[in-house]
Every structure is written in structure tokens, then in C-alpha cells.
């Protein structure tokens, strides 16, 4: 039975106030990173200087077939770094993937991990790293808040999209292979030690992937900035810088995939957004989006693109001030905060439309809505410091609004 609304709000806000204090002891940091075209080829020499050998490389089988990983592997060989390749075909990482990756890590005597790919590959590698320090625990036992609590092996993240920001976050979202429920392992020990931001790796992305991953990064920045409680000046600054970078570059990257400057700016935007939500948290956009991915296989970035304007509009006046500030950063005008906030939301919708993305989904089935609400509410409350606390009826109204 659901608790009364005022009690739910009190519980959530009290939890968040306590966690705000705890956040000062969490050890948040940004990975050291290499940035620029061709930096992937220099990684082997860089790691050798850091004393990193015996690497498990986690990537997608398609990337290996297309030769995208080979320049890095060639650099490893030149530098005398031993590596074992573990590839995956799944769209989103599953608990079975993590178990397989950990088995490969252990059997080959690996002592460090390099993940190259989109957020899914990096999240999978984080799950493997968590298993490396907790070999007797299942993925389900590691999911939740602060359950790793031990330094993971040296970890390098190389994003090949500009979206998830997993190369700088505390989170690894893994789908349970049995139940299809998506849930995150959240722990500051999962923040990669190093990251490589090489825009050449994103040049070959299809326009649809450029669009959806870019909107994923935007959702990270917008949710982090509109959230209450956890942010410091650093998270607020990074979120605004990320929104500005994405606003100015996402259509350029979508329309001309070979524009290296736009690609680099999108990578930096995703990186900043990832660091912003690492402490600031995401919100109901992600909580509901994870249910769409888990139940129906909806691409995460697509779910973010569709849900972001709906959720921000549903928050109403409570989000106007912060959305208006983001509008100011982007040069989006209005006579007052409400006008600026609504203009910013319309910009998101117009950008989606220009990139051919839908505004609703036709996959949501009546029989699944109660399960979606349960999962989304469990993920979000009391952890996410959203502008307005929602209960079941609010989640239901939002889910109904995104159905075709």
C-alpha cells in the first residue's frame, strides 16, 4: 500500500537531506582524460607508463569487425601490453554478460580493464570490475547504492558515442537476464581512473545514434541541473556547460558526421553531463526510461529524447527557474521564467523533430503499466532529488501521455 503523499514527500526529502551530507564524504572525482583526434592510438604507451598491463578489453563484436578497436590493440602490442578481448552483441548489458566477462577476466589473469564502446559496453565493464572485487556476489546483490565499497582494478573508459557519460559516472546499469528489470550499481569506486575522448571514434555513427546518444547526454545535464539538493557549484557549472555544448553542436554532428569539432564538443558535453549527474543524480526521465528499455527493448537514448520534454513540462512551475537558466545559457529568450522554460522545452521537441525522432511510443501495453510504475518509483524514490515528488498516479499520468 502506498503511503500518504505528504509522508512520501517527507520521507524522500529527509533521505535526500541526509545523503547530501554523506555526499561530501563520497570521494567524487573526474577521471584523468586524453582528448583529441587519434588519441586512441597513444593509449598503449600511456598505460605502459602507468604500469598497467594484463588488460581485459571489453567491446562490441561489431566494433571489432569494423576495425575500430584495432588501432588501440596495435598500440598495446607496440607497448608490450598483454590483452584479452571480450566482445558482446547485446544492445544493453545483462547480468549474464557481466558473469561471462568476469569469467574471462579471471581465467586469463587480467589485472585491469579497458572498455571501448557506447555506454552499454562501459557499464558492462564496470559490472565486471565490481565482480572482480566481489566474486561471490551476484549482479543483483551489487545493484543499489554503495555496495561495491572497494577499489576496483585500474579501469579505462573509451566512449565511441557522445551520450551516456559512463566514462565519468558512478553508475553501471545492468539488465537482469531473468526478470528483464534494469537497475544500477551505484558507487564512487566505479568512476573510471582514465578516459579517452577521441572524436574520430564517433565519426562513423549513424545519424540516428548520434541523435539519440546526444539527447541522452542532454537528459543527464537537464535532470542534474533541475534536481534539488545534491549539486555543488561544480555540478551546476558542468551541467550548464554541457547543455550549451549540446545545444550548439548536436544538429551539426547529426547533419555532418565528419565534423570533428562538433563531434569533439559533443563528447565533451557528454563527459561534463556525466560528471554533473554523478553527484546531482538523474530523475524520472531515467526511471521511466529504464522500464521502456527493460520491457520493450527501447534504445535508452530514444527513451530519453521522448521522455525529457514530457517530464519537464509535467514538473510545471517547480522547474521553471532552473529551465529558464538553461534557456539563458543557450540564448533562448522569453519575457519571464515560465516563458523561457517553455521555450527551452519546445527547443528540445523541435530538435527531436529535426532529427526524425518520435514524440510518443506505441509499444506500451496496458498489462505492463503497473509494473512500470513499480519499477520507476522504486528506482527514483527516495534517491532522486527531483523538483516534485511523484506517487503512482503521477507516474501513470506521464506514462499514459507518452502512449500513441
What is the pLDDT at residue 291?
Answer: 95
Fold of 32-202: Rossmann fold (3.40.50)
What is the pLDDT at residue 293?
Answer: 92
Per the DSSP assignment, residues forming a β-bridge with 55 are 83, 112
For the segment 145-156, the average pLDDT, to the nearest whole number, is 94
Task: Decide if 58 contacts 101 (C-beta within 8 A).
Answer: yes
Which region, left, alpha or beta, applies to residue 243 given φ > 0 means left and ψ of -120 to 50 means alpha? alpha
What is the pLDDT at residue 321?
Answer: 98
Helical ranges in 116-185 per DSSP H: 119-133, 139-142
For the segment 26-55, the average pLDDT, to the nearest whole number, is 94
What is the pLDDT at residue 97?
Answer: 97
For the segment 135-140, the average pLDDT, to the nearest whole number, is 95
Chain-centre distance of CA 350, in angstroms? 23
Residue 130 reports pLDDT greater than 80 = yes
For the segment 323-343, the average pLDDT, to the nearest whole number, is 98
**If pLDDT is split at 50, 70 and 90, which confidence band does 2 have?**
confident
What is the pLDDT at residue 379?
Answer: 93
For residues 69, 192, 159, 286, the Cα torsion angle rounded to the nearest 10 degrees is 140
| Residue from 321, 358, 359, 318 nearest 341 by CA | 321
**Domain 5-25+204-401: what homologous superfamily?**
Dehydroquinate synthase-like - alpha domain (1.20.1090.10)
Question: pLDDT, tens digit, for every residue of 224-242?
Answer: 999 989 999 999 999 999 9
For the chain, give the mean pLDDT: 95
* Calpha distance 323→385 (Å, rounded): 16
Task: Decide if 63 contacts 116 (C-beta within 8 A).
Answer: yes
What is the share, in percent, of the chain residues with pLDDT greater than 90?
91
* Sequence ranges of the chain with CATH classification 3.40.50.1970: 32-202
Residue 131 reports pLDDT greater than 90 = yes
pTM of the shown model: 0.92
**If pLDDT is split at 50, 70 and 90, which confidence band does 182 have?**
confident
Residue 1 reports pLDDT greater than 80 = no
* Calpha distance 79→73 (Å, rounded): 10
For 202, the 3-state DSSP assignment is helix
* Sequence ranges of the chain with CATH classification 1.20.1090.10: 5-25+204-401
**If pLDDT is split at 50, 70 and 90, which confidence band does 90 have?**
confident
For the segment 118-122, the average pLDDT, to the nearest whole number, is 92
* Calpha distance 128→241 (Å, rounded): 32
Q: Which residues contact 52 (CB under 8 A, 6 or more apart)?
A: 81, 112, 154, 156
What is the pLDDT at residue 199?
Answer: 96
What is the pLDDT at residue 266?
Answer: 97
Amino acid at each position: 500500500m502506498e503511503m500518504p503523499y505528504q509522508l512520501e514527500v517527507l520521507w524522500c526529502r529527509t533521505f535526500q537531506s541526509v545523503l547530501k551530507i554523506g555526499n561530501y564524504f563520497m570521494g567524487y572525482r573526474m577521471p584523468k582524460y586524453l582528448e583529441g583526434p587519434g588519441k586512441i592510438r597513444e593509449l598503449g604507451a600511456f598505460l605502459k607508463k602507468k604500469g598497467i598491463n594484463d588488460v581485459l578489453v571489453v567491446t562490441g563484436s561489431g566494433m571489432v569487425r569494423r576495425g575500430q578497436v584495432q588501432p588501440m590493440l596495435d598500440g598495446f602490442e607496440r607497448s608490450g601490453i598483454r590483452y584479452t578481448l571480450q566482445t558482446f552483441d547485446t544492445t544493453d548489458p545483462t547480468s549474464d554478460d557481466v558473469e561471462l566477462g568476469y569469467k574471462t577476466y579471471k581465467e586469463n589473469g587480467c589485472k585491469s580493464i579497458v572498455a571501448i564502446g557506447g555506454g552499454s559496453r562501459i557499464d558492462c565493464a564496470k559490472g565486471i570490475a565490481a565482480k572482480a572485487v566481489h566474486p561471490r556476489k551476484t549482479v543483483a546483490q551489487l545493484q543499489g547504492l554503495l555496495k561495491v565499497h572497494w577499489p576496483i582494478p585500474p579501469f579505462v573508459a573509451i566512449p565511441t558515442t557522445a551520450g551516456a557519460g559512463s566514462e565519468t559516472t558512478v553508475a553501471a546499469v545492468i539488465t537482469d537476464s531473468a526478470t528483464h528489470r534494469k537497475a544500477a550499481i551505484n558507487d564512487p569506486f566505479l568512476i573510471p581512473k582514465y578516459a579517452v575522448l577521441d572524436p574520430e571514434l564517433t565519426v562513423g555513427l549513424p545519424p540516428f545514434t548520434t541523435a539519440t546518444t546526444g539527447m541522452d547526454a542532454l537528459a543527464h545535464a537537464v535532470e542534474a541541473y533541475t534536481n534539488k539538493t545534491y549539486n555543488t557549484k561544480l555540478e551546476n557549472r558542468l551541467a550548464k556547460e554541457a547543455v550549451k555544448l549540446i545545444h550548439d553542436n548536436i544538429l551539426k554532428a547529426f547533419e555532418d558526421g565528419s565534423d570533428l569539432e562538433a563531434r569533439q564538443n559533443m563528447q565533451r558535453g557528454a563527459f561534463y553531463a556525466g560528471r554533473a549527474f554523478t553527484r546531482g543524480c538523474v530523475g524520472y526521465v531515467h526511471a521511466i526510461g529504464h522500464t521502456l528499455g527493460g520491457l520493450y527493448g527501447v534504445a535508452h537514448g530514444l527513451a530519453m529524447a521522448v521522455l525529457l520534454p514530457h517530464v519537464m513540462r509535467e514538473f510545471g512551475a517547480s522547474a521553471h527557474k532552473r529551465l529558464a537558466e538553461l534557456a539563458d545559457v543557450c540564448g533562448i529568450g522569453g519575457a519571464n521564467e515560465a516563458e523561457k522554460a517553455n521555450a527551452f522545452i519546445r527547443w528540445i521537441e523541435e530538435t527531436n523533430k529535426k532529427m526524425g525522432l518520435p514524440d510518443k511510443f506505441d509499444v506500451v501495453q496496458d498489462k505492463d503499466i503497473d509494473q512500470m510504475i513499480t519499477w520507476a518509483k522504486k528506482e527514483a524514490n527516495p534517491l532522486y532529488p527531483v523538483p516534485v515528488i511523484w506517487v503512482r498516479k503521477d507516474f501513470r499520468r506521464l506514462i499514459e501521455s507518452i502512449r500513441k
